[in-house]
Structure 1
Amino acid sequence: MRDVESGQFAAPRAFDVLSRYRTEQLSLNTSDRPRIQLPEAPFVRAFLQKYPEAKSEPVALNSFAPPLARQFAQRQLELIQSGQDTAAAFAQAEKDFAARIQALRSRYLASATGSTNPLELLRQAEQEALDAGLEALAETQRR
């Protein structure tokens, strides 16, 4: 548009329309973007505050399963909606997820002390699951 106004180029036929309606200036720094607040967000923050090692938990990007913190918060939200208060729902959700939280803590402590590589722990867990599956398959074939 500036090139046409400078006189270096011939004005197109629709120039008068283009000059009447200028385009808006685009700004990528808009501060009025809508923020989405999920109902379980405060519960996720409370869980991560109590169990900060959950922040370092690996998340599979090609999986539909949410991370442990979000699953915990959704369970706590279900308990609150069923009539329990927040503290009791948190305690009940801790009982429900006790095994997974303990496994998370043990992986975190093992990686923090440097005794075992976390990838090695995951490989061992996968190998155990694979061995259990193969044993179950062999058992079904024996019958």
Structure 2
Amino acid sequence: MNDHRKIKVFFEVLGRLLSRVGSQALARIGAELGPKEKVTLTNGLYFRVERSGLTLVSVGAGECQSMKLSVDEAKQIFSSIESACTSRDVVKVRAGELSWTTDARPKSNPEKVVIRSTGPLGFTRTDARRKDVAAAVVEFANRFG
């Protein structure tokens, strides 16, 4: 094979390879940028479902914080939420670097659940409606068991 032919074959193979890699990269980027599935506790506190696991997103006071969690860590959190709501008490759990507290005591408003979390990004406190939290627990269980 002459040099001209070798160069031509090299660029054809390189073009096919780049095309495949580019298509795969675009698919990954599209999946990340596309509409996200969520398990929502409140408008400002939800779990975004992604291929690599879940991302806890907390929006409030003009800022947005997010933290990646494995499915197992999220299962620990939702199990603690369910336990707190069933017992109508306070349940704390540690999932990775995140400390999560669900306060489902009826106190002054029986329809409210207080959720607190502390992690590498700081502290959050959110008031949630009991029925929304219960729906999120059911939705998470249906998706992840």
Q: Does TM-score exceed 0.5, indicating one fold?
A: no
TM-score (norm 2): 0.28
TM-score (norm 1): 0.28
Name the structure with the higher helix share. 1
